[in-house]
Structure 1
């Protein structure tokens, strides 16, 4: 997974380094990896989140805190939808297995002397 220095993150997001560092303090899920010397390395996901925050702040006129809250709500909703989908898939698999077991039981009962 590619990582980007703060200079590269500046170019990719159109934000200055001091703005990126400030946003890290205010928006809790923007957390670039830091090496032993404290240099920041942004992942693709970090860049995407920063761009989303930038859009909410500059285009939709959210405050930075409001943009953070909005993204938390969006991310929570995405996780909930993913969990629901996974549960539905598990439920379908359980029903499939249950049907097989019932069918085998009913066939076993008819073949018993």
Structure 2
């Protein structure tokens, strides 16, 4: 499930709850509900409790949605699956593919910014 829209946002950019809602088609109240049910889903919260979803949060939202809608899991089933994954050895290590994608997105943003400054 690829994110649609948001041509002005890089893949590694943080997203507000409104942007994530529009890109995934999930209502904002569902995203807030999932935060109460899945401890892994913890967007950054700034002043006024404004939520900022990191790329890892976006990937988790898409995964939860897929497990619920396509694979037929219940909320409790997804909770158990994610909890079991947390208990696996090596869980604390970052996903190297995700890290590379994030670094490449930051690099692309910096290159764009340098080009705009040179103009």
Alignment match of 2:35 (pick from 14, 24, 47): 24
Is the aligned partner of 1:35 residue 2:12? no
Runs of 4+ in 1 over 6 A off after TM superposition: none
Using the size of structure 2 for normalisation, the TM-score is 0.61
- Give the structure with the larger helix fraction: 1
Question: Per-residue CA shift, 1:21-44, capped at 9, x if unaligned?
Answer: 000001111011110211110000
CA RMSD for the aligned pairs?
2.1
Number of aligned residue pairs: give it.
82
Is the aligned partner of 1:69 residue 2:80? yes
The corresponding residue for 2:21 is: 10
Using the size of structure 1 for normalisation, the TM-score is 0.63
How far apart are the structure 2 equivalents of 1:8 and 1:78?
34
Q: Secondary structure at the match of 2:49?
A: coil
